[in-house]
Amino acid sequence: MKNKLSTGGLVYSTEAGRMCPACRQPVAQCRCRQQQMTPAGDGVVRVLRETKGRGGKAVTLVKGLALDHADLTAMAKHLKAACGSGGTMKDGVIEVQGDHVERVMTALQAAGHVVKRAGG
């Protein structure tokens, strides 16, 4: 017997891949998650280098950008092109492969953001 509190529903489709259980759309087209992803921060973008959980490989993280999903995706693309490397965007955090903290900070400052280096 199913628990009455469980949301249930479709979580994976062979046609569309992973599905959002709340709106039952593919994750890439999910509207409810995009609304939740807009971070409410203090207006300061924090850039840090992290190696934890990545087999010793460095990744540059950008946190605190108060942009909607489409603008955040465009900013991730711009930063990856400026650094000449790959990366991704997960849960409102931009990840750029490699140690590119200075380049990312310069690109964000040129775009008019207040930037701080976080971490060591």
Confidence of residue 1 (pLDDT cuts 50, 70, 90): very low
Band of pLDDT at residue 10, cut at 50, 70 and 90: low
| pLDDT at position 61 | 93
Question: pLDDT per residue over 43-101, tens digit each?
Answer: 789 999 998 888 889 999 999 888 888 888 999 999 999 999 999 888 889 999 999 99
Average pLDDT for the chain = 80
pTM value is 0.65
Instruction: Spell out the domains of the chain, with CATH numbers in brackets.
Output: 9-36 (no CATH), 39-117 (3.30.780.10)
pLDDT at 2 (0 to 100): 47
Check whether 114 has a pLDDT greater than 80: yes
- For the chain, the three-class secondary structure string (H helix, E strand, C coil) is CCCCCCCCCCCEECCCEEECCCCCCEHHHCHHHHHHCCCCCCCEEEEEEECCCCCCCCEEEEECCCCCHHHHHHHHHHHHHHHCCCEEEECCEEEEECCCHHHHHHHHHHCCCEEEECCC
